[in-house]
Chains A and B, each alone.
Chain A
């Protein structure tokens, strides 16, 4: 004779909540090994208490005690009538009648299990995916930008002379962070030193812009400062040109011809203890005037090929940090 559900005779232990407490106790115990012995002791007490209750519950059967189980009070739903149209075997639940009108809405076990599987799976998936996705994406956007770079004494930069200056943006990264700037000392403006410092990266697609004019390689000066090898090569350009797609700029970095979308990017600079320090780069839409007198329309640093003004800049409403 097959034992009916909920009737005494089954050897399956009755449902119990004690294992949950037991698990929490174990978790606290393990945490306690890190956080301190008091917490570990608390965890041990909880574990022992719930463990005892769980064992007592689970062995009711063996000890011959009556297992108190709430009897099933719901009415048994009537079987779907034989006249109902037959359904494919894979539709619905085998042996489960369709809920009929007037019947209390039921929540079948399989639906609960299905939802629980999806829910638990989703939570586990999320717990695993979110940190990994964050690690994939966030490092490229956080703590960007590096400190100032010392490129030489102000006296190394002769007045009105362009110097092709290469340096490591971040000596920790090594040669991969080598950058080039075209630096010209403009003399003084209202008693303040003035420099024109252009980044050599083309604002079309990032190729290295070259000076249009003689480069005096043999007059290069080298200096190593704080593991940063700096090279300064004098040049006399009439402008700058990009070898990749032919973009042309004047000596203020204004676009003269070709595909670039704005003027050349520039470096912020400061002077401390007679040394010229390069800071962050910024983008420029247009420069009016020349040298110390130049008036620069400054914008936040944009990627090459990205417009910083005009209707085309509306295509880039947000810029990465």
Chain B
């Protein structure tokens, strides 16, 4: 018993390492869920192009992380914003790097979104049954562009200020509601003391939250519907459209509508 075979020791180590995983899995099912997400089946002939979505997600995560750190030094106040930007860039250790990552990463994020969108379009991956995911993606694109717009004001230099003036006023030319959008964005009839903190709150709280939620929905649909094979694949990319019929129609909503409420006999 003094000497054990290395393979059995290895087994023992593996078992020890798996104890916390088993503990977590038994209580949450998380390990299985992650395994399901990571090792799900995809077509054999998928392409590097199909990693653009993950690349976009990575760019967003970089933006989120660097943004959180920048928020520790940035001051969203008309009298202090520009000075705090100078301080981040010139004085705070590695501030230049993180600010640079955030600034250039913003462009990377937007560009990757468009590349991803082009891939989905050219592969025909937006077709049945994935139309809803295209729509969610368009929502993500709009929110991402709005992130760029609100973030552009925050350095509070001349470029930022006048570019935002022009950007805000372009919104103002929208019929009927345009002037109201302008006043809402500016928090008044002109850019004033509240504008920069309003843009900051939108930029770092409202929009990232909304983007995070939509990314969750986007990924859920990707996993649920599966990945398309490329257009040159011998395998069909889509699937047969399920004809609505008594067996399929409304199965998902069964139980949502009480039969009694619909067909309850009137007095």
* Residues of A participating in the B interface, judged by any CB pair closer than 8 Å: 87-88, 90-93, 98-106, 108, 111, 137, 139-141, 144-145, 169-170, 173-177, 179, 205-208, 244, 301-306, 315-320
Contact = CB atoms under 8 A, between A and B. Distances in A.
Contacts of A90: 254-255
A104 B259 CA distance: 16
B182 interface: yes
A47 B162 CA distance: 63
Contacts of A88: 254-255
Interface string B138-152: 000000000000000
Nearest to B175: A315
Contacts of B168: 206
A175 B259 contact: no
B260 A205 contact: no
Interface string B145-166: 0000000000000000010011
Contacts of A320: 179-180, 183
Given A90-B254, A105-B267, A206-B165, A303 B188 contact: no
A91 B259 CA distance: 8
B243 to A, nearest CB: 20
Nearest to A261: B173
Given A88-B254, A207-B162, A173 B180 contact: no
B104 to A, nearest CB: 25
A6 B184 CA distance: 59
A-B pairs with lowest CB-CB distance, top 3: A315-B175, A303-B172, A176-B78
Interface string B195-239: 100000000000000000000000000000000000000000000
Most chain B beta-carbon neighbours within 10 Å: one of A100, A173, A303: A303
Interface string B234-267: 0000000000000000000011001111011111
B176 interface: yes
Given A92-B259, A140-B187, A103 B265 contact: yes
A176 B164 CA distance: 14
Nearest to B194: A139
A68 B261 CA distance: 33
12 contacts: A98-B263, A101-B265, A106-B260, A140-B186, A173-B78, A174-B193, A244-B162, A303-B178, A303-B179, A305-B173, A315-B176, A316-B179
A34 B109 CA distance: 55
Nearest to B185: A140
A101 B254 CA distance: 23
A108 to B, nearest CB: 7
B197 to A, nearest CB: 11
A293 to B, nearest CB: 31
B192 A176 contact: yes
A169 B190 contact: yes
B193 A173 contact: yes
B265 A205 contact: no
Nearest to B267: A105
A89 B100 CA distance: 57
Given A91-B255, A105-B264, A316-B179, A145 B172 contact: no
A144 B265 contact: no
Contact of A99 (B182, B183, B193, B260): B260
B54 to A, nearest CB: 35
B92 interface: no
Contacts of A93: 258
Contacts of B266: 105
Nearest to B158: A208
A304 B192 contact: no
B162 A208 contact: yes
A316 B79 contact: no
B169 interface: yes
Contacts of B165: 205-207
A96 B184 CA distance: 52
B265 A141 contact: no
B172 A306 contact: yes
B94 interface: no
Given A91-B259, A302-B179, A144 B188 contact: yes
A100 B179 contact: no
Given A99-B260, A205-B170, A319 B179 contact: yes
A141 B188 CA distance: 6
B189 interface: yes
B202 to A, nearest CB: 11
A173 B179 contact: no
A139 B189 CA distance: 11
Contacts of B176: 315-318
A255 B165 CA distance: 20
A98 B260 CA distance: 7
A200 B190 CA distance: 13
Contacts of B183: 140-141, 144, 320
Given A206-B166, A317-B176, A320-B183, A111 B188 contact: no
Contacts of A100: 265
A88 B78 CA distance: 62
Contact of A305 (B169, B187, B189, B192): B169
